[in-house]
Amino acid sequence: MGAKKKLKRKIKSLKSALRVQHAPAAKVALVSPLAPAAFPDLPVIKGARFASVAAGVRYKGRTDVVLAQLDPGTVVAGTFTRSATRAASVLDAQAKIVGDSAKGAAILVNSGNANAFTGAQGQESVAAICAAVAEKLGLPTERVFTASTGVIGEALPHDRIIAALGDLTTALDQDGLPGAARAIMTTDTFPKGTAKTVEIDGKPVQIAGIAKGSGMIAPDMATMLVYIFTDAKIARPVLHALVTGLTDRSFNCITVDSDTSTSDMLLVAATGQADAPEITEIDSDAGKAFADGLGAVMRDLAHQVVRDGEGATKFIEVAVTGARSDADARKVAFAIANSPLVKTAVAGEDPNWGRIVMAVGKSGAEADRDRLSIRFGPHLVATNGQVAPSYAEDIGASYMKGQELVIGVDLRLGEGAATVWTCDLTNRYIEINADYRS
């Protein structure tokens, strides 16, 4: 009887040991721990309608094709990956981006297959989809933009997408943007959306955007895609200049793993249907107000991509000041943000500032070891090339337990500054990327 009780207790303790060991695997986040609490409310953008359907491109039981229809008068600007192995849809959209806005426009996006590295066949798929959408919506093919995200190197079953066009056009709706955010997801753990209202001459202008991306290039499920819609009235050259400049301070300031997609694309479509007056110059009050709003939307979406970085458990801002130039500051910031040794230290909550010194050193930027200072959030860690007298390891260790971290580096050589955002590098990143296709 006593023996039986002992055995039962033994079983209980063994079971509990097993549970503890299973816990990490079982606890693997279905949603990134850095995700926003909820998907935001998105305003209606006059002149834009959206639809998502399940076309079965690759996934089963979920939406995977999005159509956006944009009224005549909509201007479209964009930025595209600089990869030398760009996908066919990227090359196609790049060629069309400067086109005439008189007849409206459409954007069609599928998830599940990236149609990348598919040769001539890939171009034929893009042409077939564009022709079908153009016919269905009465648009010239030059006003149809497509994007594909998913597995690389497999032929896109574009007939499934074309077969879904009837359902898509029927479903077009001004409230369809949140659904579109879900349909373009691949390895993303949460849909990404954000919105901002700005006032121009006392009249509201709405800006709403969605994005996908998880890992700079999500595994073979390639691509970061961003679509932003606004009812602003704005000339295309002005919108283009704004988008280019703001991309450099948002999406070009993030890194998850330093890997670049073959299909990254950002499109901003302005329908011109707001009551606010037209924005004709960047430097005008109207231009600045709109740039503030658009910049906030782009930065928020860029941060959400980092927050969904594969395996991420910490959101890291790297702020570099005092560089000889902004370009030098950027080199230092990215050397830190891309360093596997810095990122694993953060994952381990290790205030290992020696690795930051190392990353500064390897960046290629001008640096003087004996002027350098380093901060963890508000805490001065190192100054004049040595550990700060006020610093103690437990200050850094305690700071590193936070989920939102700021690494500050002051080179004390000039006025150059740059801020970039990244996440930590964890076992989960390896698991996702080593096992993804098997």
Q: Minimum distance between the CB of residue 417 and its own copies, rounded to whole angstroms?
A: 18
Q: Does 327 participate in binding its own copies (rule CB under 8 A)?
A: no
Annotated ligand binding at 247? The verdict is: no
Per-residue HEC secondary structure of the chain comes to: CHHHHHHHHHHHHHHHHHHHHHHHHHCCCCCCCCCCCCCCCCCCCCCEEEEEECCCCCCCCCCCEEEEEECCCCEEEEEECCCCCCCHHHHHHHHHCCCCCCCCEEEEEEEEECCCCCHHHHHHHHHHHHHHHHHHHCCCHHHEEEEEEEECCCCCCHHHHHHCHHHHHHHCECCCHHHHHHHCCCCCCCCEEEEEEEEECCEEEEEEEEEECCCCCCCCCCCCEEEEEECCCECHHHHHHHHHHHHHCCHHHEECCCCCCCCCEEEEEECCCCCCCCECCCCCHHHHHHHHHHHHHHHHHHHHHHHCCCCCCCEEEEEEEEECCHHHHHHHHHHHHHCHHHHHHHHCCCCCHHHHHHHHHHCCCCCCCCCCEEEECCEEEEECCEECCCCCHHHHHHHCCCCEEEEEEECCCCCEEEEEEEECCCHHHHHHHHHCCC
Report whether 101 belongs to an annotated binding site: no
Is 223 considered catalytic here? yes
- Which window, 65-73, 127-135, 274-282, 353-361, contacts its own copies (CB under 8 A)? 353-361
Site for its own copies in 184-213 (CB under 8 A): none
When asked if residue 390 is in the footprint of its own copies (CB under 8 A), the reply is: no
Binding-residue pattern over the window 216 to 255 for its own copies, x denoting contact by CB under 8 A: -x-xx-x---------------------------------
State in angstroms the smallest separation of the CB of 83 from its own copies. Answer: 3
Distance CA 38, CA 85 (A): 36
- Which parts of 37-66 interact with its own copies (CB under 8 A)? none
> Rounded distance, CA 215 to CA 256, Å?
5
Of residues 67 through 96, those in contact with its own copies by CB under 8 A are: 81, 83-86
Number of Cβ atoms within 10 Å of the Cβ of 375:
21
Q: Is 126 in the site for its own copies (CB under 8 A)?
A: no
Residue 382 found at the interface with its own copies (CB under 8 A): yes
Residue 115 binds its own copies (CB under 8 A): no
In this chain, which of 35, 57, 151, 319 binds its own copies, going by CB under 8 A?
Answer: 151
Among 156, 239, 253, 365, indicate the residue that binds its own copies (CB under 8 A).
365
For its own copies, which residue of 75, 367, 395, 420 counts as binding (CB under 8 A)?
367
Among 257, 300, 308, 410, binds its own copies (CB under 8 A): 257
256/268 with CB nearer its own copies:
256
**Shortest Cβ distance from residue 107 to its own copies (Å)?**
23
The answer to whether the annotation marks 223 as part of a ligand binding site is yes
CB 31 within 8 A of CB 311: no
Q: Give me the least distance between CB of 118 and its own copies, in Å please.
A: 6
Q: State the nearest-atom distance from the C-beta of 316 to its own copies, in Å.
A: 14
The answer to whether 361 contacts its own copies (rule: CB under 8 A) is yes
Q: Which stretch binds its own copies (CB under 8 A): 29-37, 268-276, 289-297, 352-360?
A: 352-360
Calpha distance 291→245 (Å, rounded): 10
11 phi and psi, to 5 degrees? Answer: -60, -45
Q: Does 384 bind its own copies (CB under 8 A)?
A: yes
| CB 424 to its own copies: min, Å | 9
Q: How far is the CB of 183 from its own copies (least distance, A)?
A: 22
Report the 10 Å Cβ neighbour count for 95.
Answer: 10
Question: Does 355 contact its own copies by CB under 8 A?
Answer: yes
Q: Which is nearer to its own copies, 4 or 60 (CB)?
A: 4
Query: For residues 1 and 38, which CB has a smaller minimum distance to its own copies in the complex?
Result: 1
Q: Does 363 bind its own copies (CB under 8 A)?
A: yes
Known binder of ligand: residue 433? Answer: yes
Residue type, 300: D
Question: What is the rounded CA–CA span in Å between residue 107 and residue 133?
Answer: 9
Interface with its own copies, residue 268, by CB under 8 A: no
Q: Does 403 bind its own copies (CB under 8 A)?
A: no
Q: Is 19 a binder of its own copies (CB under 8 A)?
A: no
Q: Does 358 participate in binding its own copies (rule CB under 8 A)? A: yes
Task: Please identify which of the residues 187, 223, 247, 426 carries the catalytic annotation.
Answer: 223
By DSSP bridging, strand 404-410 and strand 265-270 are unpaired
Query: Hey, which residues are catalytic here?
Result: 223
> Residues marked as binding for substrate?
186, 212, 223, 310, 433, 438
> Residues marked as binding?
186, 212, 223, 310, 433, 438
